[in-house]
Amino acid sequence: MNKILIVDDEQVVLETLLHSLGRKGYKVETAASGQEALEKAKKSRFDVALLDIKLPDIDGIQTLKELKKINPEIEAIMITGYGSINTVIESMREGAYDYVEKPVSSDRIAVLIEKALEKHQLTETVALYEISKKIFSTIELEALLKTIVDLAMKVLQGDDTSVMLFDESGGLSIAISSGLDEQVKKQTRLALGERIAGWVAENKEAIILINGLRNDERFKDVGCREEIKSAIVIPLIKNNTVLGILSVNRINILENFTKIDLYKANIFASLVSLALDNANLYNSQLKLQKQLVSANEETRLLNLSLESKVKERTQELTRVNEELTCLAEQLKKANNAKSEFLATMNHELRTPLNSIIGFAEILADEKSGPLNEQQKEFLNYVLVSGKHLMALISDILDLAKMEAGKMEISPSNLEIKKLLGDTLILIKEIAFRKKIEVLPEIPEDIGHVEADERRVKQIVYNLISNAVKFTPLGGKMGIRAKRSDSEIEVEVWDNGIGIAPENLGKLFEAFQRIDSPYSRAIEGTGLGLSHSKKLVELHGGRIWIESQGLNKGTSVKFTLPLKR
């Protein structure tokens, strides 16, 4: 069961999320401050943390940094109030997975948690690949044992770890340990079946111990270190032969090991067993080479046999690494497949659509014969729909290029005032027909910016045409610009239908249109803002939306750096 930590000083938020996430099957704990969250993270391991950016003691970003120190694998989703977008961006740089704005939507939170857990699972797969590379990076036993202990402490989150191997007389001795007293290490030697490690070796069965041995009837008469809160003891087996025992104990960490930890331990132990078997074969080969100074045919055949076994093991390791590499490639290909598919399909659609629009325009000019009023009306529908579809295809193609990393920009030194003024002319006629008052506020000394002129005009046109579309008859819209030492900020505003707070985060998603009686009556592709966002980011800028709510107008702002 995945564990979620909710950190917020608003009791209603804690109670709402605790109830909704609990109903979805998550194990949820809450904290009202950053310090309380850190204390809980030290005692228990969480998969996802929901962090309010504004907390009463240490803020959410500092709490995120400290949580990452305690558990680097934790995924964080930031909760922010209105107007803290810059802080959100900073939190994303510190490793946050995503963010949501207040008021919090339980459904939106649940979706983000599922995505964060998917990323967490992918991260674990990649981590397993990295672990396998480290384990198989050496065949020398002493170095291998040190690597095994270090990785076990990290992967399974233990306070002390030890590896027991069979000595020449068949007893189990501690070959290496981390965090274990040296005197205990020297004195420990077990026969097969003796105490816990001997029992695990004899039965070839991994076990989890909780609260010492008090919860396991099999070992009620066996003495155990009282300070151990929980332990995993697992056999290292290759070809049904026990090579040794791996033990991981938790003393200061209060959270007990779980079945998920045991599952990780089994995977880790299988890799360790394979590496130990290779190291044993390698050591056997070295011993034989020292003992048999006079090479004879029997020695040569034996060496060939050992080399063949090492080769077989190496091939097996190579296969495992190739499969993991293949998995990484498949993930990369899957990420690019959508963009390549869209680009291909758009190309196939554009040619016949150009023909439809072209012939429709010829007919509309009536050069091939006069049309009656109904024919003109129907032909106008064809032209409007065709051009609408062509705009949609062009936007989709641009998005596909940007997602595939194939979109290039051609920067030049642009005069901002002229560019904004020229773009406003494009919507002048529409605004006049709707009796919308257009109010430009562009300083004479706004200056220049280094950017792609055609792409910047696309951005501005998308925003001002949206403002005109969603401003009712007789309304107002405008455009402002201001300059700082490093960037130009442009704002397009209107006093139109506005946006509900819960919908602000959706508007930059492709094909997303907010449903309302007014918006349903307005044509659009649902790609304008998504397209603009990607073009702004391609220039190295930022874009965001502000609205006080329905019927209170909308403001869209974006920035462009002065120099690329």
Residue 204, by phi and psi: left (phi above 0), alpha (psi -120 to 50) or beta? left
Task: Tell whether 148 and 286 lie within a shared domain.
Answer: yes
For tokens 């008469």, name the residue.
221
In a domain, 230, yes or no: yes
> Cα 170 to the chain's mean position, in Å?
48
In a domain, 313, yes or no: no
Task: Tell whether 157 and 260 lie within a shared domain.
Answer: yes
Task: Tell whether 148 and 275 lie within a shared domain.
Answer: yes
- The yes-or-no verdict on residue 492 having pLDDT over 90 is yes
In a domain, 304, yes or no: no
Q: Strand 437-441 to strand 543-546: parallel, antiparallel, or no bridges (unpaired)?
A: unpaired
Structural domain that includes position 396? 337-403
pLDDT at residue 448, as a whole number? 93
Question: Which pLDDT band, with edges at 50, 70 and 90, does 384 fall under?
Answer: low
Is 121 or 168 the better-scoring residue by pLDDT? 168
- The yes-or-no verdict on residue 106 having pLDDT over 80 is yes
Q: Strand 3-7 to strand 48-52: parallel, antiparallel, or no bridges (unpaired)?
A: parallel
Question: Which pLDDT band, with edges at 50, 70 and 90, does 231 fall under?
Answer: confident
In a domain, 457, yes or no: yes
| Secondary structure in 3-state letters for 515-527 | CCHHHHCCCCCCC
pLDDT in tens, 440-488: 999 999 999 999 998 898 899 889 988 998 899 999 999 999 999 999 9
Mean pLDDT of 493-518: 73
Question: Which pLDDT band, with edges at 50, 70 and 90, does 402 fall under?
Answer: low
Task: Tell whether 45 and 185 lie within a shared domain.
Answer: no
Neighbour order of strands in the sheet with 160-166: 189-190, 172-178, 160-166, 241-250, 230-238, 207-210
Task: Tell whether 150 and 27 lie within a shared domain.
Answer: no
CA distance 3 to 439: 52
In a domain, 128, yes or no: no
Neighbour order of strands in the sheet with 554-561: 437-441, 476-483, 487-494, 554-561, 543-546
Q: Say whether the peptide bond before residue 103 is cis (omega within 30 degrees of 0).
A: yes
Please tell me which of 70-79, 205-214, 471-480, 543-552 the model is most confident about, judged by mean pLDDT.
471-480
CA distance 542 to 536: 6
Q: Quick one: which of 325, 285, 288, 286 has its CA closest to 306? A: 285
Task: Tell whether 287 and 201 lie within a shared domain.
Answer: yes
Task: Tell whether 460 and 519 lie within a shared domain.
Answer: yes
pLDDT in tens, 303-333: 777 788 878 888 887 887 887 788 767 757 7
pTM of the predicted protein model? 0.39
Domain end (from 54, 88, 118) = 118
pLDDT at residue 236, as a whole number? 92
pLDDT in tens, 41-92: 888 888 899 999 888 889 888 999 999 888 888 899 988 875 566 777 788 8
Mean pLDDT of 22-43: 91
Task: Tell whether 155 and 286 lie within a shared domain.
Answer: yes
Neighbour order of strands in the sheet with 27-31: 27-31, 3-7, 48-52, 75-80, 98-101
CA distance 20 to 200: 42
Please tell me which of 55-69, 111-125, 140-154 the model is most confident about, judged by mean pLDDT.
55-69
- CATH code, domain carrying 71: 3.40.50.2300
Residues above pLDDT 70, as percent of the chain: 83
Contact 224, 233 (CB under 8 A): no
Question: Which pLDDT band, with edges at 50, 70 and 90, does 521 fall under?
Answer: very low
Task: Tell whether 553 and 452 lie within a shared domain.
Answer: yes
Pick from 8-12, 388-392, 439-443, 526-530: least confident? 388-392
In a domain, 487, yes or no: yes
pLDDT in tens, 244-256: 999 898 888 777 8
Task: Tell whether 375 and 272 lie within a shared domain.
Answer: no
Domain count, the chain: 4
Helix/strand/coil percentages in the chain, nearest 5: 50, 20, 30
In a domain, 436, yes or no: yes
Q: What is the DSSP letter of 212?
A: T
- The yes-or-no verdict on residue 517 having pLDDT over 60 is no
pLDDT in tens, 405-426: 666 788 999 999 999 998 898 8
Domain end (from 118, 148, 179) = 118
Question: Which pLDDT band, with edges at 50, 70 and 90, does 267 fall under?
Answer: confident
Task: Tell whether 196 and 218 lie within a shared domain.
Answer: yes
**What is the chain's mean pLDDT, rounded?**
82
Task: Tell whether 375 and 285 lie within a shared domain.
Answer: no
Is 214 or 372 the better-scoring residue by pLDDT? 372
In a domain, 36, yes or no: yes
- CATH code, domain carrying 552: 3.30.565.10
